Amino acid sequence: MNILIRKSYVITMDDDDNLYPQGCIAIKGDTIAYVGDEESLPVGFVPDEVLDGSGMLALPGFVNAHTHSAMSLFRGYANDMPLMDWLAQKIWPLEDRLQPEDAYWLSMLSIAEMLMSGVTVFADMYMFMDQTAKAVEHSGIRAVLSRGLQGPDSRSEQRLMENRKLWEEWHGGAQGRIRVMVGPHAIYTCDAHYLRRCMELAQQLGVGLHIHLAETRTEVEEALKRHGKTPVEYLESIGFFNLPVLAAHCVHLTNHDMDILAKYDVQVAHCPVSNLKLGSGIARVSMLLERGINVGLGTDSAASNNSLSIMREMTFAALLGKGIEEDPTVIPAKQALKMATLGGAKAIGWSQEIGSLEPGKKADIVLVKYDAPHYHPAADPVTHLVYSGRDADVDTVIVNGKVVMRKGQLTTIDLERVYYEVEKIKRRIMGGI
């Protein structure tokens, strides 16, 4: 199907930062065929559908570079607790009650929220990932999926087998919208031998590793006691960074840690809101960027955020950077938007196909209404989007050339059914909590 988006303010996020205030985008099948002024639209392009982009911004879909979609069940539960207490005392005991099919509906709830806020791709790490993959396939979103791995324990080898099976059954699946990585949870849940087993699997499959890293001060202190190294130094010592790595959080880093990440081109998923809510700290993102380290944005789960809004993460990333460095020039609006789009696409290893609006790239596009009080008086649209934008401004979402949300209404997900199924799961697992 061919789609033409007309009369929108196109923010391409390409290398030249091209903008087209009265631009158009031609989509042929799942691919962008043209971006630019309508006068230069190729004569031979005939659309099957025309979308009126008047009064809207057209930009690349947002990238959620780190989340746990099926943890949507725990939104609003166990608030105001430190990370390790939150996990050990509240989250892990209830997770033991989850059934595989629960993950389908819980992931679908998160996917609906993400699509409605302009997210077109997410990187996930959790259990029952085949069910999340089915939710991705049915909803039309794009995803990079990892089975969360911990060990050694009685189930550690089974988890590795599940990650391999996930790759065998889903890598490249859903019309190419699913990719698979290997997901060792963290250095405090995986010993050195098990981390090496994860590395071996990733090498065999030809994929990268997705891990939580230096999220809390306690994690760093424990690593120094146990290994005599920071978490980053420890992973370097076992060769972990010789493979592509997506590292979530990276809050508590030394200068040497940052130099190591830069040396190995480690990709960072910055999760400012979750880090604030869990009291984990604030990542020094401007220092990472100064070293040439690529940074994308993640929400973490709805259990620790409690939102899956990358637009909100974008705002927090820009403001926190200025506050912590006491410098209003760091992380300007354009940089924050890049972290939410092209930077996120690079972080998850997909920037050759998504993250910017360019001919030849996949048609992952969002239309954002640009005619509300918080966008007036007229000014730089990127500045307004980053500092004033809201999820409710998202009007239309296209993934892989397919319209999955039109005028604020999802076209692939029955929200009422999702709510019904999620409430059933909650009653069974959480009772009156």
**DSSP three-state, residue 430:** helix
Mean per-residue pLDDT, 244-251:
98
pLDDT by residue (tens digit) across 383-394? 999 999 999 999
Question: How would residue 88 be classed by pLDDT, with cut points 50, 70 and 90?
Answer: confident
Beta strand residue intervals within 258-357, DSSP E: 267-270, 295-297
- The backbone region for 190, taken as left when phi is positive above 0, alpha when psi lies in -120 to 50, beta otherwise, is beta
Question: How would residue 433 be classed by pLDDT, with cut points 50, 70 and 90?
Answer: low
Least confident interval from 30-34, 42-46, 169-173, 365-369? 42-46
Taking the CA of residue 331 as centre, how many other CA atoms within 13 Å lie in the half-sphere pointing to its CB?
33
**DSSP three-state, residue 202:** helix
Choose which CATH entry (3.20.20.140, 3.40.50.10440, 3.40.50.300, 3.40.190.10) describes domain 62-347.
3.20.20.140
The whole-angstrom separation of Cα 77 and Cα 216 is: 21
Sequence ranges of the domains in the chain: 2-60+362-410, 62-347
Beta bridge partners, 103, equal none
| Higher pLDDT pick, 77 / 119 | 119
Sign, CA torsion 150/155/160/164: negative
Q: Characterize 252-276 residue by residue with b for buried, 16 or more Cβ atoms within 10 angstroms of its Cβ, and e for exposed.
A: bbeeebbebbeebebbbbbbbbbbe
Under 8 Å between Cβ of 141 and 122 = yes
Domain 2-60+362-410, classified CATH 3.30.750.24, yes or no: no
Under 8 Å between Cβ of 316 and 272 = yes
Under 8 Å between Cβ of 388 and 405 = no
The whole-angstrom separation of Cα 207 and Cα 283 is: 27
Closest by CA to 405, choosing from 417, 396, 392, is: 396
In this prediction, residue 3 carries a pLDDT of: 98
| Higher pLDDT pick, 433 / 166 | 166
**What is the percentage of the chain residues whose pLDDT exceeds 90?**
94
**DSSP three-state, residue 140:** coil
Bridge-based pairing of strands 142-149 and 119-126 is parallel
Residue 92 has pLDDT above 90, yes or no: no
Kindly give, in sequence order, each residue whose CB lies less than 8 Å from that of residue 307, ignoring residues fewer than 6 positions away. 113, 273, 299
The whole-angstrom separation of Cα 303 and Cα 187 is: 22
Residue 49 has pLDDT above 90, yes or no: yes
Average pLDDT of the chain is: 96
Residue 361 has pLDDT above 70, yes or no: yes
Bridge-based pairing of strands 267-270 and 245-249 is parallel
Query: At CB < 8 A and 24+ separation, what contacts does 192-198 make?
Result: 192/238, 193/152, 194/149, 194/150, 194/151, 194/152, 194/156, 195/235, 195/238, 195/240, 196/238, 197/151, 197/160, 198/149, 198/160
Amino acid, res. 288: L
Under 8 Å between Cβ of 426 and 433 = no
If you ran DSSP here, which 8-state letter would residue 270 be given?
Answer: E
pLDDT by residue (tens digit) across 397-416? 999 999 999 999 999 999 99
Could you give the C-alpha distances from 237 to 102, 140, 233, 245, in angstroms and in order? 39, 40, 6, 15
Mean per-residue pLDDT, 126-151:
98
Residue 83 has pLDDT above 90, yes or no: no
